[in-house]
Each structure stands twice: as structure tokens, then as C-alpha cells.
Amino acid sequence: MKRLNVLLLLILLSVLLISGGRTPSITDSSIVHAIGVDRSDEGYLVTLQIFKPEAAGADTPIDISKANFKNISAAGKDMQECLYKLSGRAGSELFLGHMQLLVLGKDIEIGDISELVSPLRDDKSIYSGLYLACAENAGETVSFPIKENAVTAENYRLIIENAAARGSAFSARLIDIDNVLGECGALAMPYLEIEGEKGKQSLDVTGSVILSSHGFEGDIITPDECSCLSLLCRTYTGLTLPHELHLSSGLVPLSDISRDICFSKQSGRLCCDITLTATAGERLTDPEGVSAGLSEKLSRLLDKYLKDRDADAVRLFEQLRLREPALFARNKSRLYQLYDDTQFSVQCDILKS
């Protein structure tokens, strides 16, 4: 017992010595909530959204009458250099453990990703599930106050989660850079845009973009295309029927969504048969017509993104790896050539409740 007391005393003395005899304070570090990364002449321009504790009132942690965030930027040849400069400009050590969002400028290329993410991987305090997004100008986006004087990164997160729940955008997280981008060479993520006239602007998710070997290439995947394609993704559950497929006003929610993806070989050619069943609400007036229309549209979208744009937005490779592991292993380096030779068949059955 005496030895334990001595050990506890030594630990306490160590803490006091490290902290200079004072209690560690929130003001000792610059707490980063969001990072935006754009290309620049020097390499990269990194913009931080930092929680500003100096806006705190006397009796409360946050004085809501004052802005509680600030933005600082620095350019450098790599992320490490940018963060070093930013720490100096912030006047304190950067703490990334509360980071919720990483926004990539549309000029970022797939070859930049490893360099940009490496310092974030090395920091064990960073949550691997933090959200990724893309914007025309990432620095401007993380500097945009969604609500006056609000900690905006929390609102960015809610905007992305709401869009993903509706199926109008694909969500992406830091961990997906290895698990998805590293496996199939493409990753779909939300696209953030500042819309409206000056003084009346708002920020919203206007669809998704795909980061592939060609960078952020091609047109934005529209919310309507996302709502169709997300029906094939098991991670999205609170979905509605794409508006163009039904004539009723308002949303037509879908329930009891069931997806079956089957791979087979026919005459030496790989075939992928996808069966989707779901139950729609009372607003649905033509179940058979809607089922046929959805089947046709999903077939077109799979051809568009899997074959024409080499972008597996629906992460079909995960099902291929699970169901045909040997085939996936043999074709991992030529996945989109395999998709080019694959015959896709989509059969949808939307039932009226």
C-alpha cells in the first residue's frame, strides 16, 4: 500500500512539472474542428476552422453572443509543412482530436491523397470516421458560417448526415480512403456548395463527386442519381423513391428494402444479377410502371459509372470480394476492365403497402 501511495505521488508530481504547476486549460491548444485543402503554387493551401475559447463568457464555456470559431490558412509543399506553419500562426499546439470534417478542393488529385492523409493517420487522437467532402474551394467552404457565430463543423456534419439519410448524396469517411479508395480506385463523397446572393447565402450538399485515378472527374452525381444508386447500398436505409419515377407530390418513403446481388458465369462471361424489392407508401399509384422505370434507370446508371467513368460509387466490389473472393483477387488490378466485360441485369419490384 505504501509503494502504491509513493507511485501515485510521483505521477502527480510529474503532471505538475509537465504543466508548470498549473491545471491544463482548454486555451493551451488550438482545437481544430475542420480542415480544407486546396492546391496552390507552393503545393497545398490548408485552411483550419478552429474553436475559439477566447469567446467564452465568465460563467459559461461559450458566450453565444460572440463568434466561437476562427479560420487560419497557410501554404506549403506538403500537409506536414502547412500544419507546422499553422501551429505558429495559431500561437499554440494544434489539437486534431475533435476534427469532424476534411474538405478537399476539386483540384486535388488521387496522387495527393496519401501525402495529405499521412499526418492525419499518424495522429492517434483523430477519429477515423470523420467525414470527407469535396468543394470547388475547400478553404472558403470551411470558413463559411452556416449559422451566425456557431461552431460550424458540427452543422456541416448534420448537413452531410441528413443528405446521406435521404439518399441524395453518398457519405465518405477518413477510413474509406484505405478500405474503399485503396481497393477499387474510386470513392464517392458529398459535394458542398455555397449558394445564393451575398448576404443570403447558404451551404448545402448538392450531390456527390467521385475521386478516381483521374481526380475529381466528370459531372456531379445529381441527388436524383444518388437516390437511385443508394438503393443498392446496404448502408443506406431511410430512402425514398426517386421523384421522377412517380407522379405524386411529396416524398414516397420506402421500407422493407431487400437487395440480392448474385454473380455467375454464363458462356465464359461474368454476369451480375441484382434484385431489389421494397414497399412504398400509399402515394404510389403505378407499382408496375415504377418498378420497370427504376430497373431501367439503375441499369443505365451502373453502365454510366462502372463502365464509362470507372467509378464504383455503389461499392459493388465489396459484394464481388465477399461472394467471389478468388475472382476478385485475380482481377483487383483490372477491376474496371472486369466490369466492362460484365453483363448487368437489374430487376426491381416496388410493392404498394
Task: Give the sign of the dihedral formed by CA 78, CA 80, CA 83, CA 85.
Answer: negative
**pLDDT tens, residue by residue, 76-104:** 999 999 999 999 998 888 999 889 899 99
Place of cell 500562426: 89
pLDDT of 42 reads 92
Q: What is the mean pLDDT of residues 319-338?
A: 91
Give dist(CA 128, CA 177) in Å, integer: 10
DSSP class of residue 344? E
Give dist(CA 16, CA 35) in Å, integer: 33
Task: Give the sign of the dihedral formed by CA 45, CA 50, CA 52, CA 53.
Answer: negative
Q: Considering only residues 137 and 183, tell me which one the structure prediction assigns the higher pLDDT.
A: 137
Give dist(CA 283, CA 291) in Å, integer: 15
Cβ neighbourhood burial of 43 (10 Å; 0-12, 13-18, 19+): middle
**pLDDT tens, residue by residue, 51-81:** 865 544 445 544 444 556 789 999 999 999 9
Kindly indicate the confidence band of residue 234, based on its pLDDT and cuts at 50, 70 and 90. Answer: low
Q: What is the mean pLDDT of residues 297-308?
A: 91
* Average pLDDT of the residues of the chain: 82
Q: Which of 36, 38, 193, 188 minimizes the C-alpha distance to 101?
A: 36
| Of 185-189, 234-238, 260-264, 302-306, minimum mean pLDDT range | 234-238
pLDDT of 67 reads 57
With contact defined as beta carbons under 8 Å apart, do 31 and 98 qualify? yes
With contact defined as beta carbons under 8 Å apart, do 80 and 86 qualify? no
Kindly indicate the confidence band of residue 184, based on its pLDDT and cuts at 50, 70 and 90. Answer: confident
Place of cell 466485360: 341
With contact defined as beta carbons under 8 Å apart, do 229 and 313 qualify? yes
**pLDDT tens, residue by residue, 242-294:** 766 665 556 678 888 889 999 998 888 899 999 999 888 777 788 898 899 89
Residue 147 confidence (pLDDT) above 50 = yes
**pLDDT tens, residue by residue, 2-38:** 554 444 444 444 544 444 444 445 557 888 999 999 9
